[in-house]
Each structure stands twice: as C-alpha cells, then as structure tokens.
Amino acid sequence: MSKGLYIGGTRAYAGKNMLCIGIGLRLQQDGVNLGYMKPVGLPADQDETQGDEDALFVQDVLNLQQPARLVSPVLVTQDFRMRAFAGQSGDLMPEIASAYEQLGQNRDMMLVCGSGHTLSGRYCGLDGIRTVRELGLKALIVDRLQHEINHDELMNIKEQLGDSMIGAVLNDIPPSFMAEIDSVIRPFLERNGIPVLGVIPRDLLMSSIRAHELAEGLGGRLVAAQGRADGLVENFLIGTMQVENFMTYFRRNPNAAVIVGGDRADVQLVAIEGNCPCLVLTGNLYPNDIILSRADTLNVPIVMVRQDTYTVAKKMEGLLTRHKMRDVMKIRQGAQLISSNLDFMAIRKALDV
C-alpha cells in the first residue's frame, strides 16, 4: 500500500479539513504526487451518489480527479446507522482498504481525513484508530483550543496508536495563550511522546462568517442592505443592556454582529450608526422605517429571525465554531497559516517522502 498520513482530531470541528488542504497544497508545491480520501463520510442531502461534501470540496481544491465512490467508500445514512446498530452492516474495512489501494496507485503518498473525533465510528468498526492500524498509516492529530488544550484526549489517542502517531497540531491559539503553549503544554506533550509539529495561531478571518451565510444558518431573512451581505462577521455581541453600557462593549468589538430584540430600536440605531457588520433582530419583529432607512443608507445588513435572543446567541456561537471553509480568501489564508507554522520536514521524514 502507499504511504499515508491520517489527519484526525480530538473532537469534531478541530480543523481536519483545513489541515488536509494546507498540507496537501504545500506538499504538491514541493513536488509530492498526492492522493486523498475520507473513508467514512456523510452524503450531501442523504444522496448516496454524491459522496461526502467536505471530501469532494477538499479534492477539488487539491485539483484531484478521483471517483467519489472511492474517496468516501462508506457513507453514513440513517439506514446505515440502523443496520450498524442492529449488527447487520458487516465489516466494511476491506472495502476501505481496497479503495485506499486503488487511489494510492502511482502516488507518492495518500492523505486520509478522519470523521469527527478519532474514536468516532467505533459502533460500526470504522473508527480512526482501526483505520490507521489496518491501512498502515501514520497519524497527525489536531486539537483546537476550546478553553484549554485537550491533552487527555491527545494522550489517549497516543496510547492507542503508539508510534503510528507522529505528533500533534495545536489549532486556533490566541496570542495570550502562546506563552503557556511554549513553556508548559509543548514540553508536557513532548515528555509524553507527542511531538508538537505545529501551532496554528488564531486568525479572525478563519473563524468569520459572511452575513448572508449567517442569515441562512440562523434560519432568518435579510430585510435591509441585501447587496452588502457578503461582509465578514468575526464575533457577536448581545444588545440586551442599556444603551450607554452597550456602547462601551460595541466600541471594543467593531467587527461583531449585534444580536438584539426587534423592539430595541435604540440599540439597533447605535449599532447601525457604528457600522456593525450585521444586525440580527430577534423575536420576529420587523424593524421600523427609520432603522431600515439608516441600514440601507449605511450598508448594514439586517437579519430578522423568529427565535429569542438567547437561542439565537447559542446558534451563532455554534455557527462561528463550525462554519465550513468554503471561501477563497479563507482557503488562501488557511494554507498560508499551515505552510508557515507546520514542521513539514518532520512530517516528510516520518513518512519517508
């Protein structure tokens, strides 16, 4: 079989697709002939003929022309889950191994992307640990900072993979946390046999979302400045406080969308006059004519949603965490971040490519 690198994560949305794209583009630039697969995927709109949406996107960015049925030989539909829970899905690892071998023909190396957590898929015998072992892969595990580094999961995965795990990548690290990474986290992980092969700094562009995508994700509709709905939203503020207090927080977060009740015209006007990237009105309340007029004049998109402010804020938090990397600017920025911050020499040495 071809030499292969498995990209796994300590959880879902850790940055596996970004890592595959960044590593793939850099290795291709260095002259490495790559193949790619995502063994277990989710079919777009439950249509098994389409393949996994993320996998199709990644191979398109890498300019690879590979059959979808080989790139993601196992697609997890509701029917598949029910059969697996009933013990009727059979062992699909030989099918994955066959697809891997076909895709790897005449390739210097294969990139293999995991699904969700590296332990995800154990219920059907297709978790990342088994995939690495069965296909004889090396593994690079990415952990995205969420309050703290998930060192326990990294150690758990290392214990199960042993020497097959060549290292870890720490993703989305803010400047304020870099000193702790260098002085505490990296030495600790490396003492436990986990080389840190990359630290990806937090980048606001990578975690941003466009206003029209925000409207779609929140199930709302644009009611003002529709022509400017491609502006980037990096964060959000909740405008439930008094106007004076809100203004203090607003000035500190100029690229944050403002979530506010549809009846709070005072906060809405302050946000619009302050040129916020997007105004999200909750409670299914239509803005008054003054608000609409100023928003159109100052090109501030307004999204109107049905839910209450708390529910919308929770949804917004999830969208900013999980938003998929489809934007050309994001692809370029992500590839540059990875190219600049990963130890490619160590990766190539571990794979002997």
Residue 276, pLDDT score: 82
114-135 average pLDDT score = 91
CA distance 346 to 243: 53
> Poorest-confidence range of 45-54, 213-222, 238-247?
45-54
Q: Which residues contact 86 (CB under 8 A, 6 or more apart)?
A: none
Residue 321, pLDDT score: 66
- Quickly count: other Cβ atoms within 10 Å of residue 26's Cβ: 18
For the stretch 23-40, pLDDT in tens is: 999 999 999 999 999 999
CA distance 167 to 143: 11
Please state, for a pLDDT cut of 70, what percent of the chain lies above it: 93
- Among 42-56, 85-99, 153-167, 258-272, top mean pLDDT goes to 153-167
Q: Which residues contact 236 (CB under 8 A, 6 or more apart)?
A: 256, 257, 258, 259, 280, 313, 316, 317, 320
- Is pTM beyond 0.95? Reply is no
Residue 324, pLDDT score: 58
- Say which amino acid occupies 235: N
CA distance 10 to 208: 22
Query: For the chain, how big is the Rg over CA atoms in Å?
Result: 23
From the number of C-beta atoms within 10 Å of its C-beta (0-12, 13-18, 19+), residue 108 rates as: middle
> Poorest-confidence range of 132-136, 209-213, 281-285, 342-346?
209-213
Which tokens go with 160? 């199960």
Please state, in angstroms and as integers, the Cα–Cα distance from residue 155 to each residue in 36, 143, 195, following that order.
27, 12, 11
Which is more confidently placed, 89 or 241? Answer: 89
- Nearest of 16, 26, 54 to residue 144 by alpha carbon: 16
Three-class SS state of 256: strand
Residue 330, pLDDT score: 75
- Which domains are seen in the chain, by residue range? 4-203+325-351 (3.40.50.300), 209-322 (3.40.1390.20)
